[in-house]
A and B are shown apart, each in its own frame.
Chain A
Amino acid sequence: MEGKRSVRMCCLCNERRASLSRPKTLEQICRECFYLAFEDEIHQIIVSNRLFIRGDRVAIGASGGKDSTVLAYVLSKLNRIHDYGLHLFLLSVDEGITGYRDDSLETVHRNQIQYGLPLKVVSYKDLYGWTMDEIVKLIGLKNNCTFCGVFRRQALDRGAAFLKADKLVTGHNADDIAETVLLNILRGDIARLSRCSSIITGEDGPIPRCKPFKYTYEKEIVMYAYFKKLDYFSTECIYSPNAYRGFAREFIKDLERIRSPFSSLFILFVCLFVIHNHVIAYRPRAILDIIKSGENFRISTTTKMPEQGTCERCGYISSQKWCKACVLLDGLNRGLPKLGIGRSRVAIGCKEENESHGGKSIESKQCGSLDF
């Protein structure tokens, strides 16, 4: 119908030329309208979920990657425009991975200046006495993500405590959360399944965490960073093959791509006309639908859930006698790095950790950072 017109106008403002098709809605809009829509959506989520209270000290988990960079940029902008009255900080974890984290930390240092936000870096070396490089040298490329994930979780909390932060925000996006919902079903992790899709977690703990990007598509974050020319670092971690999560990610990508069973040429043809009429089976909702399912799961109250306590050694929250970080660290220091990984029983009086019912092959690839 409108196929002949060469210049398509933005369907929101109808003033400027449309320059992109918004991944979430497939609307053809201009950049300015995209920025506005993107920022407004996050503002609405912050307000409707009451993520912050005026005067809160908020630590932004900043890795230097696209998600956290856009998060820092958008949060500081919204804080300014809508006058949230928040004190924002950047909080970075230095895992000690040469060729990866040192480069991305430089980005965070630049962001500190660009956005005028104070930065705190906590390093594995200082907290645990080990860098990831040293750990990988000892245990190899298998299970290293378990160490990194467990240590990072605690490092972020310790850094936030140092900053006297009231909230910790992370850049987990809708794609990440949808993947986690699926992975937790596949692994049978009912405890994590029940909490992984909530926007605020750890409210009973010392520092609640929230995910303002819970409903934001990764693609839109990339788009925002790209058009705003934000300074971010984009490389995969050199130690992380992270196969299982990648598997789920591929699956979700396939889901989004699902179309009618026509030949590819026909699809091209159909797409040109049909996308504008919103009749195709392209399912940009797949991600949001998975999150919706995750929110609507009602877990049986008779299901045994791990009890929350504190670690006898370091005082961190733990469902066992010792927290996972202490178990892993103890293993490292005693030269038994396999301690606390997988099915093996831990010799120091800690019982089996709760995530051991998954299959063998998952354990070899599991990544400890599944939990937010």
Chain B
Amino acid sequence: MACNGAGGCQSGCYKDEETTCDQPTTAPSETDSKSSSNLCIKCKLNDVVSGYGGIDEGRFCADCFRSNLFGKFRLAVTSNAMISPTDKVLVAFSGGPSSRVALQFVHDLQERAHKNFEASRDRSLPVFGVGVVFIDESSVLPIPSHEMEEAVEVINLIVSSLAPPRKELHFVPIETVYSSDSSDGKERLIELMNVVSDPTGREDMLLSLRMVALQKVASEFGYNRIVLGSCISRIASHVISATVKGQGYSLPADIQYVDARWEIPVVLPLRDCFAQEINMYCRLDSLKTIKLSTCPSSSINSLVSSFVTLLQEENPSRESTIVRTAGKLIPFHFNRIPEIIDGNVPLATRRRQKRYNLKSNESVSSESFCPLCNSPLDKSEIVDWSNHNNCRSSDTFYTSCCSSCQFQILPSDSTSMEKFYTDLPHSMVARANKVNNDKLNALREQIQDCLLSDGEDET
């Protein structure tokens, strides 16, 4: 340690150390002469493990692999100000490997924060809270009921076996998106999904509904962050499928570390981890995951993901190349955690909001969003409402959606469209109305000084 400072001595010491620790390990096992090249490149002590794919395949031993993966997670969290001490974080847990690892890492982070809290004298930094949510989609997906029961049991076990601080667990059926507007939510949801005939459309619709459900749970229970386990492989597939669906404009919004276009910001701390690495982590630490059986899908999404998997097998850095390429597209203004300006927030929390790679000077601001998938709308998709005065609300809704949703999800004939519209959860309809009202209000503001009566509100 001492000689690290003196430059001349460093190499000598290092060599000494290497020879001393190399000789005992290589001498007994003369037979495998390759063993020296199979040593972990980081600790240079243990043998590498392989089979986790990605750029680092076959370079680390199990321990260094673990800490490397956790390091990627922690870097994403700290450099994007994803979690600060006063936060309450909701982990969206599907039971799959990615969200399992996300849960584990968030838990590890919380545990460390808790230790620091106990050790610190003034206890000025509180420990962030963690909750877990599982969305039960069995009302619209053909999942056998016994499997669901089993999954619920396993999830209960997983969450309760995590060390304290205790994590609240929410089991939420997907039809909860209707909970505020009616009691027959399940029937309406099934009706709604039945109108969508295209398999890709059904998947995308379910994805949007899932996000509505997550937002609902988060805001009901006072969470202020939602953690998704989206890994680089998933994001790479999303880049390609969004391109294929013609969503080149809105694509950058979905693939950043932070997505704060929602009421509760959504964060993607596993954005730099490969699916294979995550599987490896689950295997090494024997983390239990669940896989619900669903019928094989013939959607664009599944075609794309098998295409990307094939490419990844042929070249282990392909997925990261795809995500890096798409990462050069300009993100939106909401792709960052909003700055805390409130003076009531403790200084320590504000200080924690480090932002290394946020380019705030260069981002696109978008005011219009598709009411269905909430993706920002391109200029050509924003409708001029001046000549759409007297049409039905279902038609208005149709025209205010993005062109991809119009083609992929929405029914083309107007009777089905009306049916679809009446079965939509209130929050999505409200989104569309909000957009229109905002526009009207903006117009009204411009002519405010010429209006005679202020209270007149004929619309």
User: Does residue A289 face the partner (Cβ distance < 8 Å to B)?
Assistant: yes
Query: Do A259 and B298 touch (CB < 8 A)?
Result: yes
User: Does residue B414 face the partner (Cβ distance < 8 Å to A)?
Assistant: no
0/1 interface trace, chain B 295-335, chain A, CB 8 Å (1 if under):
11111100100010001001101100110111011100000
Query: Do A299 and B199 touch (CB < 8 A)?
Result: no
User: What's the nearest-Cβ distance from chain A to residue B450, in Å?
Assistant: 38
Query: Do A361 and B314 touch (CB < 8 A)?
Result: yes
User: Does residue B247 face the partner (Cβ distance < 8 Å to A)?
Assistant: yes
Query: Do B303 and A182 touch (CB < 8 A)?
Result: no
- Nearest to A254 among chain B residues (CB) is B303
- How far apart are the CA atoms of A360 and B318 in the complex, in Å? 11
- How far apart are the CA atoms of A293 and B402 in the complex, in Å? 13
- Nearest to B407 among chain A residues (CB) is A285
Residues of A326-365 at the interface with B, using a CB-CB cut-off of 8 Å, are 357-362
Query: Do B328 and A181 touch (CB < 8 A)?
Result: no
Query: Do A300 and B242 touch (CB < 8 A)?
Result: no
Query: Do B244 and A298 touch (CB < 8 A)?
Result: no
User: Does residue A281 face the partner (Cβ distance < 8 Å to B)?
Assistant: yes
Residues of B389-428 at the interface with A, using a CB-CB cut-off of 8 Å, are 404, 407, 412
0/1 interface trace, chain B 2-32, chain A, CB 8 Å (1 if under):
0000000000000000000000000000000
Query: Do B326 and A299 touch (CB < 8 A)?
Result: no
Given A290-B244, A293-B251, A300-B362, check contact A362 B303 (CB 8 Å): no
User: Does residue A258 face the partner (Cβ distance < 8 Å to B)?
Assistant: yes
Partner of B295 from A251, A254, A258, A261 at Cβ < 8 Å: A261
Query: Do A298 and B378 touch (CB < 8 A)?
Result: no
- Cβ contacts under 8 Å, A188 to chain B: 321-322, 324-325
Residues of B122-153 at the interface with A, using a CB-CB cut-off of 8 Å, are none
Query: Do B243 and A293 touch (CB < 8 A)?
Result: yes
- How far apart are the CA atoms of A250 and B308 in the complex, in Å? 13
0/1 interface trace, chain A 122-139, chain B, CB 8 Å (1 if under):
000000000000000000
User: Does residue A303 face the partner (Cβ distance < 8 Å to B)?
Assistant: yes
- Cβ contacts under 8 Å, A299 to chain B: 328-330
Query: Do B325 and A193 touch (CB < 8 A)?
Result: yes
- Cβ contacts under 8 Å, A283 to chain B: 300
- Cβ contacts under 8 Å, B300 to chain A: 255, 258, 283
Partner of B362 from A182, A190, A301 at Cβ < 8 Å: A301
User: Does residue B246 face the partner (Cβ distance < 8 Å to A)?
Assistant: yes
User: Does residue A47 face the partner (Cβ distance < 8 Å to B)?
Assistant: no
- How far apart are the CA atoms of A295 and B297 in the complex, in Å? 30
A interface residues, how many (CB within 8 angstroms) = 44
- How far apart are the CA atoms of A38 and B258 in the complex, in Å? 45
User: Does residue A186 face the partner (Cβ distance < 8 Å to B)?
Assistant: yes
- Cβ contacts under 8 Å, B404 to chain A: 289
- How far apart are the CA atoms of A298 and B376 in the complex, in Å? 14
- Nearest to B315 among chain A residues (CB) is A359
Query: Do B244 and A286 touch (CB < 8 A)?
Result: yes
User: Does residue A187 face the partner (Cβ distance < 8 Å to B)?
Assistant: yes
Query: Do A292 and B246 touch (CB < 8 A)?
Result: yes
Query: Do B248 and A185 touch (CB < 8 A)?
Result: no
- Cβ contacts under 8 Å, A148 to chain B: none
Query: Do A296 and B249 touch (CB < 8 A)?
Result: yes
0/1 interface trace, chain B 216-249, chain A, CB 8 Å (1 if under):
0000000000000000000000011011111111
Query: Do A281 and B200 touch (CB < 8 A)?
Result: yes
- How far apart are the CA atoms of A11 and B270 in the complex, in Å? 53
Query: Do A293 and B246 touch (CB < 8 A)?
Result: yes
- Cβ contacts under 8 Å, B295 to chain A: 261
Partner of A187 from B243, B321, B329, B330 at Cβ < 8 Å: B321
Given A258-B303, A281-B198, A359-B315, check contact A289 B244 (CB 8 Å): yes
Query: Do B248 and A182 touch (CB < 8 A)?
Result: no
Query: Do B321 and A186 touch (CB < 8 A)?
Result: yes
- Nearest to B310 among chain A residues (CB) is A247
User: What's the nearest-Cβ distance from chain B to residue A295, in Å?
Assistant: 7
User: Does residue B448 face the partner (Cβ distance < 8 Å to A)?
Assistant: no
Query: Do A289 and B359 touch (CB < 8 A)?
Result: no
User: Does residue B364 face the partner (Cβ distance < 8 Å to A)?
Assistant: yes
- Nearest to B324 among chain A residues (CB) is A188
Partner of A292 from B248, B325, B362, B412 at Cβ < 8 Å: B248
- How far apart are the CA atoms of A292 and B296 in the complex, in Å? 29
Query: Do B324 and A302 touch (CB < 8 A)?
Result: no
User: What's the nearest-Cβ distance from chain A to residue B58, in Å?
Assistant: 16
User: Does residue A279 face the partner (Cβ distance < 8 Å to B)?
Assistant: yes
Query: Do A302 and B298 touch (CB < 8 A)?
Result: no
- How far apart are the CA atoms of A258 and B298 in the complex, in Å? 7
Residues of B17-63 at the interface with A, using a CB-CB cut-off of 8 Å, are none
User: What's the nearest-Cβ distance from chain A to residue B99, in Å?
Assistant: 26
User: Does residue B160 face the partner (Cβ distance < 8 Å to A)?
Assistant: no
User: Does residue B197 face the partner (Cβ distance < 8 Å to A)?
Assistant: yes
- Cβ contacts under 8 Å, A294 to chain B: 243, 248
User: Does residue A288 face the partner (Cβ distance < 8 Å to B)?
Assistant: yes
- Nearest to A304 among chain B residues (CB) is B328
- How far apart are the CA atoms of A90 and B321 in the complex, in Å? 39
- How far apart are the CA atoms of A295 and B240 in the complex, in Å? 15
In the complex, besides A185-B243, A251-B307, A260-B199, 17 extra interface pairs with C-beta distance below 8 angstroms are A182-B240, A185-B322, A186-B311, A186-B318, A186-B322, A188-B322, A254-B307, A258-B298, A259-B298, A260-B298, A261-B295, A281-B197, A281-B200, A288-B246, A300-B362, A358-B321, A361-B315
**20 examples of A-B residue contacts, CB within 8 angstroms:** A186-B318, A190-B328, A251-B303, A258-B200, A259-B298, A279-B197, A290-B243, A290-B246, A293-B242, A293-B244, A293-B251, A296-B249, A297-B329, A298-B329, A299-B329, A300-B329, A300-B359, A301-B330, A359-B318, A359-B321
**Chain A residues in contact with chain B, CB under 8 A?**
181-182, 184-190, 193, 251, 254-255, 258-261, 278-279, 281, 283, 285-286, 288-290, 292-303, 357-362
Instruction: Give the 6 A-B CB pairs with smallest separation, nearest first.
Output: A293-B248, A289-B246, A296-B248, A359-B315, A296-B249, A188-B321
